[in-house]
Amino acid sequence: MYQLALYGKGGIGKSTMAANISVALAKKGLKVMQVGCDPKHDSTRLLLEGKAQPTVLDYVRNTPIGKRKLEDLIMTGTEGVLCTESGGPEPGIGCAGRGILTTFDTLKKLGADELDVDVKIYDVLGDVVCGGFAVPLRGEYADGIVLVTSGEFMAMYAANNIMKGLGNFDTGSPRLIGIILNSRGVEGEQELVERFAEATGTEVIAVMPRDRLFAEAEGNGHTVREMFPDSKISESIDRIAQRIIDVSEGKAQCVYPHPLDDGQLSDLAAGREIRPPSGNADTRDPCGGCRKCKRSIRDSRIMMSCAAYGALAAYMKLNDYAVVLHGPESCLYFMDTSRSKAIVELYGRDIFDQPPTHKLRCTMMDDAVSIFGGVKYLEKALRDSIADGNTRIAVITTCMPGIIGDDCISVIDRIMKENPGIDIQYIPADGDIAGEYTDGFMMAASNLVHSIDLDVRPEKGYVNLIATSFYDLHTKKHLEELNRMFGNFGLKVNCRFLDETTYDSIVNFCRGSMDMLLNDTANNRELYDMIALRTGRELFPVALPVGLYDYEEWLDRVGKEMGMEEEAEQEMRRIEAVYDAFIKEHRPRFEGKSVIILNKLSFNIDWLIDMLLDLGMNIMKVAVQVSSRKKRTEFVSRHLDIIQQDYDSEMFKNDLKGMRPDLIISDIARPDDGIRFARVGKIGFGVTPSFEYIEYVENIMRIPVEEGWKRGGMS
């Protein structure tokens, strides 16, 4: 079977050409099938005596999978030509390009590829350049391409774009048969189109005059080839049909097009001599279509998770908010499963007294919804959520509603007007279109920041904790340490922004007299910048401390803020004595030993550097290996003078060979090189967790190097 795709600008006459060519081929004894790929579904009308046929997309929408039959989608027209139409969604709703993909998939599953057909013609809209309408350009669907154009600039512009698209789907063999000029009566039209054909490396294979016979035949629901078989138009159509046959039999050749750049198109339109291309305009794959070589992606902006997931994670931290995820079930599965796995792990370690409960719904968008629009599903999900008694709801969109253009705002506005007292926050995260996880989290946080009541007055002794992740406070041990630190000054936590909390806690954020970062990271500072912009408040200058020196600075600052300098000094003397005793006891195991610290610096490790120096270790290198999957962020450290930034894996390998340290400490995967390895991560707050970590490293140091199976990460 030979497959032909006719492309052209909307309204240029390609459906008329396709129907006439189908009849001409059929009259030459070939079995022909014509597939209309235009949402207005009028491609086969002239083959069916002016009648419109049911479309594949309407059929898919209304017929269950188990009851679908190929014969319901195909009608037999003039000269036995088999006819089918893709159709499309309602204007302004859904994605017609996705509809083309669904049409092809549906026809294939129902057995269209097994039909007894010699030639299959796809009639495709050409001034839309999305992937859906480009499907017929792919090698498995089109052996040859014919472009239909007039002498009008936009028609040739569309034809030029199709040539570019053809290059993106190169099969290793040329596929452009040529151009059909469907005249519009523009002065100098034929000469202009022939110049365009020559400049792009192809030819005009037929010129269709602007003739009343077309209107007369179409008025009667027939093709010119059928009603006026002896006309000159029919002769030209027969020549096109024969050219297609010759190409299919190898008697005529196709070409690789050379589409024009913008400057060349301007020259063509102005009647000037067409300048040389500004770059390599040859769309042919330099490898001749070979796909044997592997191509690697070196883009440093690869995302591990999308913005929709980040927004979902933010709202799932509010126990009194319901979330409607507007997207496919697969998105819900991956997002909720990822989160559930983390929570299950935490529950397994007996961290929470009982798991928090959340109210999460998904609109379960599928292929049909992506074509026909999903606002009705969103409306139903919102009404169901309200019926369950939820008064605060967050709507988070994924890629699909963003791509197809669902008007979510109108639905939300209507629901809120119909239900006074219901608050619905909208986060158009649109999956990875809006960015990565952190971008979506910040979008959600920005919404919540605007819920803060600025009239609430601060109360001394209440503290707000700020972070994008509160993992460090999700163990009883860490909570006990924090409560002990705060207990020295009678401090209480007012709001955790953003952790397992409530909407009212966020509303009363300003009740806190101090705002402290949980960790001093770029993301946490970005989060607080939004709070500061909204409230005009200032961040407490020291984050929750880790290690002796940060803890002493924190004690000093809090003591002065609370007017409790004596209590702060008393705690400093106590912890210094404990610290000195610990260092004295453990120094013999570490003194004189060498270490390389390799870190992504997603958290501060100053406490670790301080302790290793106090223990007498030789720190050979502290290096930062920035992940290629994350954007570069500045970090804060008092040891910047000894930290090597932009460190890569090759440098690490070379340093291991040259330095051969006694120990490697890293938050990156352990190298298999016979050197002791200790993993480092977030450890909590205060001084006690740093002691526990050093004891863990000491155990690693005791293990003989050859017993590699005993080496492992910190549990």
Closest CA to 443 of 254, 307, 271, 612: 307
116 catalytically annotated? no
The answer to whether 83 touches 34, Cβ cutoff 8 Å, is yes
Tell me how far CA of residue 457 lies from CA of 453, 509, 562, in angstroms.
9, 9, 17
The answer to whether 278 touches 261, Cβ cutoff 8 Å, is yes
Instruction: Find the catalytic residue in 38, 123, 127, 432.
Output: 127
Q: How far is 617 from 592, CA to CA, in rounded Å? A: 5
CA atoms within 13 A on the CB side of 589: 17
The answer to whether 596 touches 659, Cβ cutoff 8 Å, is yes
Residue 430 three-state SS: coil
28 catalytically annotated? no
Q: How far is 49 from 42, CA to CA, in rounded Å? A: 12
Phi-psi region of 295 (alpha: psi -120 to 50; beta: other; left: phi over 0): beta
Backbone angles phi, psi at 110, to 5 degrees: -85, 0
Backbone angles phi, psi at 266, to 5 degrees: -65, -40
Identify the helix (H) or strand (E) that includes residue 585.
helix 565-590
Instruction: Find the catalytic residue in 28, 31, 40, 376.
Output: 40
Instruction: Find the catalytic residue in 14, 27, 120, 621.
Output: 14
Other Cβ atoms closer than 10 A to 177: 27
Tell me how far CA of residue 12 lies from CA of 8, 147, 192, 587, in angstroms.
6, 10, 16, 84
The answer to whether 132 touches 100, Cβ cutoff 8 Å, is yes
List beta partners, residue 146: 6, 178
Q: What angle do CA 94, 125, 5 make, to 5 degrees?
A: 125
The answer to whether 259 touches 164, Cβ cutoff 8 Å, is yes
* Extended beta strands in 570-669, E state: 594-599, 618-624, 643-644, 663-666
Cβ contacts of 372 within 8 Å, gap of 6 or more: 57, 61, 89, 90, 93, 94
Terminal C-alpha separation, the chain: 62
40 catalytically annotated? yes
The answer to whether 81 touches 34, Cβ cutoff 8 Å, is yes
Tokens 């990875």 -> residue = 432
14 catalytically annotated? yes
Which residue numbers are catalytic?
9, 14, 40, 127
